[in-house]
Amino acid sequence: MTITFRNETFRDDFTFRNSLYNIRRFPFPFDRDEYMYSVNMEPHVRGKKDSVFENLIDVDEHYVAEMLDRALVLKEDPLRCQALPHMMAAQWDTLELLMEHQAQDYSEHFTLTKNGDRWRWINRPMGIDDTFTFGDPSTLPYPPMEYITRQAQGDFCIVDQRDNNLWMDAGMVTTQADWSLDFDIGMNFMEWHGPVPLAHQIGVFDRALKFLLNLQQGKPTRRLNWTMTVNPRLDTSPENYHKWGPDRATVTPENVGEKMHLRVELQSLWRLPRSNAILFVIRCYLISFNELVTVPKWGRRLPRVLKSLPPEIVDYKGLTRNRPIMLDWLEKYDDGSPTSPGIFPD
């Protein structure tokens, strides 16, 4: 399928929009009218055509614009991309995985040709055509993880497995929901999840860690996570909180439909073959409330979910200030009729 890439921005004038096609395929994260943390993992296998699950590494109309935004973030702050020295094998694993999936599922846009260790990578949307030696970092313009994640949508963490734990030892993180790679790098699973409320107490992280330690190669797993962002801003990092924080105070009953965005992360986890590390892909999707309520089921469900949230989660996701405005506006779209199970539009 040929994708028409949009020319748009995620900062300043915020020209980001979703096409009608992209709205229908948005990964709405609520399969029922309420939400609580759980070990919401399922096999990462191909799903419905025209959904974000159609391909396991999803590329969409925002690809080119997102890669330009990433390049801007890295210019301002190179610490968004870091890898500890022992992660080189995992970096190559990551490069291979992303190149193979993108080339296989989007052959009009990407081509990978292997001739022994000599690989040729063509990325047409970005105008890249590079030949390099797999395993030799000196043949690429960036270290392998940085090279390929400058050409792949979503944030990426590579976690090393040792001592029955996972360690965040590498990452490319420029579109994060308010957490810092530079601060968290080197931490283990429980430590980097330290700031999350409620979930530790109900055993979510103990069970999730146990599951991941046994993750098998060739059997990736996935989960959805979500928050809200004012304006379609990808870089909501703590580093820049003093720059985007003021946006939260600009939401009014008149502009909430346009300004407030549901931000969904399709997270997939992959055991890597050479390094035995795990690649954690955090693919971020944004949708404005105006766009979201064009799907009646989602317009009914979102206010119900927002009402049912435990206060700790409201606070953690930074929703406290604007929840009343959001609810007032969204409730117009809830006619009280029942909603069907599952996340897809009716």
Partner 1 sequence: MLVAGIKSRPEYKGLDVDAHAKRHLFVLEGEGAQALIDQVGAKGRDFLAKSEILYLAAAAAPKAYDVALSALSPDVFWHAPTLQPLLFRLRACLDLARMGTRLYIAGTEGFIGQIMQVAMEYGIDYHSIHTEHRGSAARRVQCVHCKGITDNVTTSPFACTHCGLPLLVRDHYSRRLGAFQGVNIDAEEPGTAPAPEEMFP
Residue 203 contacts ligand HEM per CB under 6 A? no
Q: Do strands 260-271 and 118-123 pair parallel, antiparallel, or not at all (unpaired)?
A: unpaired
Closest CA to 15 of 295, 288, 289, 309: 288
> What CA–CA distance (Å, rounded) separates 88 from 46?
29
Structure tokens, 43: 């096999």
Q: Which does 185 bind (CB under 5 to 8 A by kind): partner 1, ligand HEM, none?
A: partner 1
Residue 86 contacts partner 1 per CB under 8 A? no
Contacts for 96 with CB less than 8 Å, ≥ 6 apart = 134
Annotated active-site residue in 162, 223, 248, 301:
223
Pick the binder of ligand HEM from 18, 94, 123, 227 (CB under 6 A). Answer: 227
Q: Do strands 221-230 and 110-115 pair parallel, antiparallel, or not at all (unpaired)?
A: unpaired
Q: Which does 318 bind (CB under 5 to 8 A by kind): partner 1, ligand HEM, none?
A: partner 1
Cα maximum dimension of the chain:
61
Contacting range for ligand HEM; rule: CB under 6 A; set: 23-31, 138-146, 195-203, 290-298: 195-203
Residue 37 contacts ligand HEM per CB under 6 A? yes
**Residues across the chain:** 346
Cα dihedral across residues 128, 234, 257, 267: positive or negative: positive
Cβ distance 236 to 327 under 8 Å?
no
Q: Which does 241 bind (CB under 5 to 8 A by kind): ligand HEM, partner 1, none?
A: partner 1
Question: What is the phi/psi pair of residue 288, to 5°?
Answer: -75, 155
Stretch 309-328 residues interacting with ligand HEM (CB under 6 A):
316-317
Residue 105 contacts partner 1 per CB under 8 A? no
Question: What is the phi/psi pair of residue 166, to 5°?
Answer: -115, 140
Structure tokens, 26: 């948005």
Considering CB under 8 A, how many residues would be counted as binding partner 1? 31
Written as one string, the DSSP assignment of 102-134 is: HHHH-TTTEEEEEETTEEEEEETTTTEEEEEET
Q: How far is the CB of 205 from ligand HEM (least distance, A)?
A: 7
Residue 223 contacts ligand HEM per CB under 6 A? yes
Q: Is 223 a residue of the active site?
A: yes
Query: Among residues 28 and 110, whose Cβ is nearest to ligand HEM?
Result: 28
In one-letter notation, the amino acid at residue 186 is G
Binding string, residues 306-345; x marks residues near partner 1 by CB under 8 A? ---------xx-x--x------------------------
Active site residues: 223
Q: Which residues bind ligand HEM (CB under 6 A)?
A: 37, 39, 157, 159, 166, 168, 177, 179, 184, 192-193, 195-196, 199, 204, 208, 212, 223, 225, 227, 269, 278, 280, 316-317
Q: Which residues bind partner 1 (CB under 8 A)?
A: 79, 178, 180, 182-187, 190-197, 200, 238-242, 245-246, 248-249, 315-316, 318, 321
